[in-house]
Homo-oligomer: A and B are copies of this chain.
Amino acid sequence: MTAPLHEAHPTSPGRRLPDTQAGMRRRNLARVMHAVGADGPLSRAAIASRIGLTRAAVSTLVDELIRTGLLEELGPERPGRVGRPGSALTVSGRGPAGIGAEIGVDHLAVCAVDLRGEVRARAVRHGTNRGRPAEPVLEELTALVGQVVAEAEREGLWAAGLAVAVPGLVAPDARTVVRAPNLGWRELDLAPLLPTGLPLTVDNEANFGSLAELWLGDDAPRNFLHVSAEIGIGGALVVDGRLLRGTRGFAGELGHVPVRPEGPACVCGGRGCLEQYAGEEAVLRAAGLEPREDRVGLLGERAAAGDAEVRRALRGAGTALGIALTGAVNLLDPEAVVLGGALSGLAPWLLPSLEQELERRTAGSACPVTVSRLGPQGPLLGAAHSVARAVLDDPAAVAERG
């Protein structure tokens, strides 16, 4: 009837494979890849004990993964151990790579991540994209992707797919930007404008940021609300280690949670939305500053330099965030709230009032608020890793294509 609330996008990890013998084999290939990825190098016997299959079954699976270039054999383990020496296996540093791209308001970025999770190639172009027509922006992005793919190929990798993070809402088809107000884009299908020849997935930057947090964060919780910001306030919900997308793919719109119901009118049609208090423009206005290109940078600089007006404005934004997050914490009961993206740079001046408000309103059950270690890199890394992880989640699909 409607799309499932959990990730329906093509690169979604954890999607169910059919429950047949063939499906079981595919899932077991994925288990081997994940075991070696998480804890490798590992011998066949060690893999077998980790995933609860017989050594014979694991050997068959491993042979297939070596043949398709996803695993590498490191050669026999050091002698001196009892029993027949096993050969340690590791995830290949050649083979498939995930290409991630980010369309920011003030930059374009592309990177390649191998199956080990290492960034192997990277390209960035600075300069505003605000108000530019989409065609030249996407032409530049296509060129940057070509550059990164070529660099990855020189390293013995091949691009398994492209995932693009955009600051806006994306349709469930995972290629159409429904609206990206800060770019001025509306109902725009990116696929024909990104002729890279790679399988394409487009998603909201906050969604990719939250996935990066889940996959790459230290001790990342499996259940959290990720809050980020460029101009608006973005949010993403991770539940049981999966992104909650919503019926139309719009879940996580924290920016339009009412904070003061009779407050200022918002572009969304409501009044007193969080963005009216904690969005960049609102904070700049409250601080009496004029917008310039790098707005968050401006706020961070001034706050760090001790500008009392800017600090007061950020304190007010923190209070508004605390009120909106009280509602979210009551509804979702997450393990943590994680501030990511541009917000992470402003955390020192937002957090005190935010935490005070949240604690006061959720007495005795306060939810910890943490700051992402990935900072503004989150969405780009999340995009690239989503492609690499889709390979780990279904290695057989790549083998069929490769």
Contacts and interface: CB of A to CB of B under 8 A. Distances in A.
B331 A332 contact: yes
Nearest to A364: B269
Given A255-B330, A269-B364, 8 more contacts: A4-B223, A5-B223, A251-B332, A257-B326, A260-B261, A269-B360, A270-B326, A270-B363
A252 interface: yes
> What number of copies of this chain does the assembly contain?
2
A27 B27 CA distance: 16
Interface residues of A, number: 57
A288 to B, nearest CB: 24
Interface string A314-348: 00000000011011101111110000000000000
Nearest to A253: B330
A269 to B, nearest CB: 3
Contact of A4 (B6, B28, B222, B258): B222
Contacts of A331: 235, 237, 251-254, 257, 327-328, 331-332
B254 A330 contact: yes
A330 B256 contact: yes
Nearest to A254: B331
A215 to B, nearest CB: 16
Interface stretch (A33-41, A238-246, A377-385, A389-397): A238-246
